[in-house]
Amino acid sequence: MFALAPSPSAIVNIRLTSSVSAAAQFIDRTLKNSWNHLQESASLNPGLSEAYADLAAIEEECEMSGWDGYNAVPVDPLSVSLAKQFLESLPLGCEAPTIGAEPDGQVTLEWYRAPTLMLSVSVSPTGELHYASLLGASKRYGSEPFSGVVPESVLDLVRKILG
C-alpha cells in the first residue's frame, strides 16, 4: 500500500494570490524542493524515474504522424505535459504505471497485475482523464477532469489494483 501525501500541485494550489509575502514564497519553495527530493527516492516512488524516462521516449518516438506504421497522430505535447503532472501528483509510495501512446495522440498510463486486474488511464490534451479498469468480474470506466491532482475515483482504482 502507499502513503497518502500531498502532491506538489496541492502545495502550489495553497497560494491563492500572486501577492504573497516573502516568507510565504520561501515556504512554497521549500515545500516544492522537499517534495521533489522525496520523489527522487527509489524506495518511496518505485519506478517513477523510469516512468519519466519512458514518457520522454514516447514523446520522441511518437512525434511524427504514422508513428505506429498506420495513421497514428503524433503524441500531443499537452498530453505529455499533463501525464507528467499526473505522475508528479501520485502519492508517495505509489508504484509508477507503464507509459504508452495511443493512435489518437493521447498518453496512456497503465497498472497491470493480471488479465482481470488492470487499470488504463488516457490523458487527453484538454485535461480529461479517461479510464477503464477490470477488477475481477467488475468493470469500472469513466472520465474525470484533471486539475493537477489525481481524482479520488482514479486513485481508488489504483489502490485496488496495487492493493
Segment 23-43, tens digit of pLDDT: 877 777 777 666 555 555 544
Residue 73 located in a structural domain: yes
Structural domain containing residue 24 = 8-162
Report the chain's terminal Cα–Cα distance, integer Å. Answer: 6
Residue 2 located in a structural domain: no
CA distance 153 to 163: 15
Sign, CA dihedral 72-73-77-81, equals: negative
pLDDT of 139 above 80 = yes
pTM assigned to the model: 0.75
Domain count of the chain?
Answer: 1
Residue 3 located in a structural domain: no
What's the pLDDT tens digit per position in 107-118? 999 999 999 999
Residue 1 located in a structural domain: no
Sign, CA dihedral 142-148-152-157, equals: positive
CA distance 60 to 27: 36
What are the grid coordinates assigned to 50, written together?
523510469
